[in-house]
């Protein structure tokens, strides 16, 4: 089995991607390609419409609160926003876990890690399970202490899983990284879910203000996700193009930066 190092996509020289020729066989690449084409569907079809609905209800909840009894808006708008907010948190963490699982398990398959290091594979599976369990318990938790504990555990689970091999983090360009934006927005959603009972209990509106500021940042991050996600789609080569694309020069310091080897035309 041939082994080697290539730069994964057009990221800077900082990170390299270890591959085996085995991992590039037709079947694995084919499934990966289906994933990359299908992956954004859940976000485009489900997450982004949820964001739109949550924002609309948030705006109405605010209008109603500011107008008081004079408002023509029904009192249910606040509650509808919370219901959509809960769905949104679950959906965002769901797509992040799916995306991470794709990168991590693809790497496990490519390096046949379950044979070389089965304990590590088991640990990764346990981390997926415990992150999902922590989020489920966060939905149920009532007391502030437990909400804090399960929110922290959910966040920690995402960090540990996001640090695994196979996840394309683009750390050199963290400020435009799809991964870092995705993790940041997940934290904000988890935080919103953890503090929402405090918004109602707090008469000084402190938590409400914190919620508004943080979720406006979350909105900007969602916009960033749509841009960086589309860029990811463009950057990932099709399986039959990979072997050629990865021979190109991605080193910005090199005089041959952004050049690819010349190929001879196929015989007629």
Give residues in contact with ligand HEM (CB under 6 A).
36, 39-40, 43-44, 47, 51, 54-55, 58, 61-62, 65, 78, 81-82, 85-86, 88-89, 92, 95-96, 99-100, 103, 167-168, 178-179, 182, 185, 189, 192-193, 196, 199, 208, 211-212, 215, 218-219, 222, 225-226, 229-230, 232-233, 236
Min separation Cβ 184 and ligand HEM, Å: 9
Give me the sign of the Cα torsion angle 59, 63, 65, 71.
negative
**In the bound complex, what is the minimum distance in angstroms from residue 36's beta carbon to ligand HEM?**
5
Q: Which is nearer to ligand HEM, 129 or 220 (CB)?
A: 220
How far apart, in whole angstroms, are the C-alpha atoms of residue 104 and residue 117?
Answer: 14
How far is 40 from 178, CA to CA, in rounded Å?
A: 12
CA atoms within 13 A on the CB side of 104: 21
Let me know the angle formed at the C-alpha of 78 by 66 and 55, rounded to the nearest 5 degrees. 90
Q: Please count the other Cβ atoms lying within 10 Å of the Cβ belonging to residue 246.
A: 19
Q: How far is the CB of 58 from ligand HEM (least distance, A)?
A: 3
**CA-wise closest residue to 50 among 82, 10, 23:** 82
Nearer to ligand HEM, 238 or 254 (CB): 238
Q: What are phi and psi of 236, to 5 degrees?
A: -80, 120
CB of 115 to ligand HEM, least distance (A): 25
CA distance 229 to 176: 10
**Cβ proximity to ligand HEM, 136 vs 256, nearer residue:** 136
CB 49 to ligand HEM: min, Å: 11
Q: How many residues does the chain have?
A: 268
Query: Minimal distance in Å, beta carbon 108 to ligand HEM?
Result: 15
- Between 127 and 168, whose beta carbon lies closer to ligand HEM? 168
Residue whose CB is less far from ligand HEM, 37 or 112: 37
Residue 256 Cβ vs ligand HEM, minimum distance, rounded to whole Å? 26
- Closest to ligand HEM by CB, 34 vs 257, is 34
Which of 51/135 has CB closer to ligand HEM? Answer: 51
Distance CA 189, CA 171 (A): 22
Query: What 3-state DSSP class applies to 236?
Result: coil
Which CA distances in Å does 61 have to 3, 32, 65, 249? Answer: 57, 42, 6, 53
């Amino acid at each position: 089995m041939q082994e080697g190092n290539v730069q994964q996509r057009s990221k800077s020289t900082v990170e390299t991607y270890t591959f085996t020729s085995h991992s590039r066989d037709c079947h694995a690449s084919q499934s990966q390609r289906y994933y990359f084409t299908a992956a954004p569907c859940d976000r485009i079809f489900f997450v982004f419409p949820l964001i739109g609905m949550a924002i609309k209800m948030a705006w109405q909840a605010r209008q109603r609160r500011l107008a008081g009894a004079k408002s023509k808006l029904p009192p249910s708008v606040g509650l509808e926003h919370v219901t959509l907010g809960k769905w949104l948190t679950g959906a965002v963490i769901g797509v992040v876990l799916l995306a991470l699982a794709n990168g991590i398990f693809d790497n496990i398959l490519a390096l046949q890690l379950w044979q070389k290091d089965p304990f590590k594979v088991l640990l990764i599976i346990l981390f997926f399970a415990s992150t999902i369990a922590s989020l489920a318990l966060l939905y149920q938790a009532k007391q502030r202490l437990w909400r804090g504990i399960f929110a922290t555990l959910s966040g920690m689970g995402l960090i540990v899983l996001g640090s695994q091999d196979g996840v394309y983090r683009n750390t050199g360009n963290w400020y435009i990284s799809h991964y870092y934006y995705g993790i940041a927005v997940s934290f904000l959603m988890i935080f919103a879910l953890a503090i929402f009972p405090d918004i109602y209990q707090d008469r000084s509106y402190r938590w409400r203000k914190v919620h508004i500021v943080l979720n406006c940042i979350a909105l900007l991050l969602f916009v960033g996700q749509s841009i960086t996600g589309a860029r990811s789609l463009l950057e990932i080569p099709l399986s039959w193009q990979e072997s050629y694309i990865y021979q190109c020069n991605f080193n910005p310091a090199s005089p041959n930066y952004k050049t690819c080897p010349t190929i001879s035309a196929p015989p007629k």
